[in-house]
Structure 1
């Protein structure tokens, strides 16, 4: 047999407990066909010397925002600002480019790192030279406009109107500060969206190039084509275009937002259904580009204090957060999507929202059974002990983001207190309950490099170096499995990837060292020497 590729002289970690490490593997047609001694007699069109380095199954981020991340690489970057003066200086510098009517769009601003401080709309007017400014907060659950930006939108017509699932923030005098929360962000999106498809394709090009440099071979984009998180109704077409153009460097599972679904006419004896045109649903596609579950927002964020909690936020006795939609309306829409064979991915950050999400999932399963692509909840920032047991009973994965802890763990702790932080971003208790744990980043809300996420799973140290729910720590080996096999299980793709064994996809990351062979605090700094998707290199350096 002549194979496409042989990787030899490596420490290849297969994920197979019977043969956990082999020195060689062979690839044909994008899949592993042989490993270890079975490779010796094979001829190959290409051979790669791994030079004794570690080779792992490719990393898989089970919850990121690829278009959004790529757009941040095109927009004014506020991720590194350390003060409001830094914000004003950056916006002022950007104001020198473009015409007087052009919007200045900035992203990555995190008020939590500035102890909740947000820019002054009037100062933004001055430094922008009167141009409209749209600052996207890193959480994605709020944004900031300057005075000119407010004037260009319909915000002023709705100051005293209750907004379902959102809020226009006013100061003590009743004047809008420029901050829009949750669904109130639609006021600016109605003016500036949709983005052009070629712009979205460029964003995917930039995003997946970065993914490849970090060892990522699979990513789930958790919300496209609608709602406050979508960039254009045709976002799925942009994904397909990027794949055809050869700039989609990672395998992608894409979650449409439930707002992008519409009623599917049927017969009187059939249940009501929500779907995409022609009835396509979860699982449609192939191993390069596939539709995942439908993404549904139930609440907001801990950092913005908009997540729905059973108890109030620290120091805010009247604030329990809120749901983004009337509970009955939410239930009806989700059940109609499930009836059309969509698996569910319900964003539920607060424990009160998680109760609602689990009630809906339980009813959906009772009516229509379980799904091949598992139902899941996203984030689960606060998960009570009784909810861990309920997740296990329903077979619902809780997709957590360990990198939130080193990014803004103390900001979360200040919002929910010491007691509830012990129930936050769980990992160990989920594994012990028999649930899969996946690596995910929520990038660009937080840094997304998978080696950093693996380190965070093990260390659980905040930005101030303090332990955060240390009882939830994983071992290095468990964290690596979360980044590979765990993510493949959560996305319903464990039969095709997550391990380097015959029959599975030849998705690989070549590392200078295995994470278990370095000090835990150095895991994030391990050089990524090469990345391959189906045996084809998407990133290569260091002599590999």
Structure 2
């Protein structure tokens, strides 16, 4: 039986231009039936179950259009240094040592969210990890997710020795004597947890489902109703399908699938924009370069104080072939491009595909799109491409961004202001687990452009709170091709809501992240309540 509900609150920001602020919503069958004055709707819908939210502010369900929900499920049993509260290198080593001591002999120990810049001290290397775990294979992954450190048993398990050549798109770190120091970059790291040659043991399905339950719970607790999982391979797709079949998928999930998954869809006569409002394929994922926080992105000017220009993961020829194949099929590409060199290469591939197939008008995505120039931005606009800059990176990394990239470049990073002014679609993106999860922290970061360390970073790119909210609702929905069903609280759209103790558009910018999330509602049903 479809249940009709009447939600009332002090203020409901609908993001519907026709009725931007109301006091009541009627929902039926998971959708908004009507929005307006509370007394009028109460009289009109006497059969509706009342849900009085008091003095709260309601906004459309917050939507993180680039994060890694399935990775969170896979990581749930591993050690997360951030969640464990590591504040120094000594803390990190103590936590790792305890995890190794609790492991069975020869069991893998995997550690995530190691932040070398925040923890201080000498960077972890093979020798330090060997001292912590002389027998167990130990892999420590950097917070950016694009490099990690392995001890000797972990290198051996991956078939890496002193004479090994890195895989395409990867690199092996070496010390001053030319010996392996355990650092694995990009594809050399990815192959440990991805693809048909995965080195790490697969986790049992029930363990992954439990991890997915926990990950969804964390997301709902910070106000998220929708996410886009930014890299879904065959095993991740199987996990989502299993969760959906068991009615354990409480989040709305759009997926950016790997090339092998897309090949399977093509063989079945399908492509992107396949699925429904709970689980759907939204794009095909590829990587051009590395990470901003990991300092592996492809840049024309080296990172500050170095002669390092980062890494390309996919060459021009391979990138162009993939983009044209997906574009010609009428499907959406969603390609990771951080540095200006990578963005230039990706735009060239998009432009050539559009020229070769002018009859196809698919709007592609640029994941991160970090180091923009005015010339690159003009090309993005001309293509109608959609962008997903990091939402919370200024808050998270603060002054370190200035140290890594210099004061001029940070004025062009995460260019929310310039992109909006140019009429380019911008979606909300945490890139969690690389970035911080709470969307309210991202809103604060975009509004203040000030790190949690107090350092201002590229303040010319500040946006208003209303604009930041639009990015994490309407903008995110557009980037997954779903703005016809969600993003606003308007009649006919999905009844997804985030209920906040205070209005993010009324509090000081530096107080947005502290607003408590009171309730999260998906399709008219409460999935989290404080």
**Under TM normalisation by the shorter chain, which class is it?**
over 0.9
Q: Which residue matches 1:180?
A: 184
Asked if 2 retains the 8 angstrom alpha-carbon contact of 1:27 and 1:535, the reply is: yes
1:107 to 100, 104, 112: 112
Q: 1:297 to 1:158 in 2, by over 3 A?
A: farther
Q: Which residue matches 1:267?
A: none
- 1:40: how far off? 2.6
Q: 1:162 to 1:443 in 2, by over 3 A?
A: closer
1:302 to 282, 285, 292: 292
SS at match of 2:355: helix
Correspondences of 1:22-171 after superposition (within 5 Å): 22-36=22-36, 37-44=40-47, 46-79=49-82, 80-114=85-119, 117-128=122-133, 130-156=135-161, 158-159=163-164, 161=165, 163-171=167-175
Q: Which residue matches 1:447?
A: 436
Matched, 1:201 2:209: yes
Aligned length: 521
- 1:255: how far off? 0.7
Between the aligned partners of 2:75 and 2:65, the Cα distance in structure 1 is 20
For residues 130-178 of structure 1, what are the alpha-carbon distances to aligned partners after superposition, in whole Å with 9 as ceiling and x for unaligned?
211111111110111112222222111643x254211010101122111
Between the aligned partners of 1:9 and 1:89, the Cα distance in structure 2 is 48
SS at match of 2:463: coil
Between the aligned partners of 1:73 and 1:118, the Cα distance in structure 2 is 25
Q: Which residue matches 2:228?
A: 220
- 1:25: how far off? 1.2
Alignment gaps of 5+ in structure 1 = 226-232, 265-274
Q: Which residue matches 1:228?
A: none
- 1:373: how far off? 6.3
Correspondences of 1:519-530 after superposition (within 5 Å): 519-530=508-519
Q: Which residue matches 2:379?
A: 390
Between the aligned partners of 2:349 and 2:485, the Cα distance in structure 1 is 30
Asked if 1 retains the 8 angstrom alpha-carbon contact of 2:89 and 2:120, the reply is: no
- 1:3: how far off? 5.4
TM-score by length of 2: 0.93
SS at match of 2:292: coil
Between the aligned partners of 2:441 and 2:31, the Cα distance in structure 1 is 28
SS at match of 1:378: strand
Q: 1:325 to 1:20 in 2, by over 3 A?
A: closer
TM-score by length of 1: 0.91
Asked if 2 retains the 8 angstrom alpha-carbon contact of 1:11 and 1:23, the reply is: yes
Cα RMSD after superposing both structures: 2.1
For residues 178-235 of structure 1, what are the alpha-carbon distances to aligned partners after superposition, in whole Å with 9 as ceiling and x for unaligned?
110001115534321544433332222111111111111110000111xxxxxxx322
Deviating more after overlay: 525-534 vs 367-376: 367-376
Asked if 2 retains the 8 angstrom alpha-carbon contact of 1:3 and 1:43, the reply is: no
Asked if 1 retains the 8 angstrom alpha-carbon contact of 2:328 and 2:360, the reply is: no
Q: 1:151 to 1:435 in 2, by over 3 A?
A: same
Alignment gaps of 5+ in structure 2 = none
- 1:113: how far off? 1.8
Asked if 2 retains the 8 angstrom alpha-carbon contact of 1:362 and 1:394, the reply is: yes
Asked if 1 retains the 8 angstrom alpha-carbon contact of 2:389 and 2:414, the reply is: yes
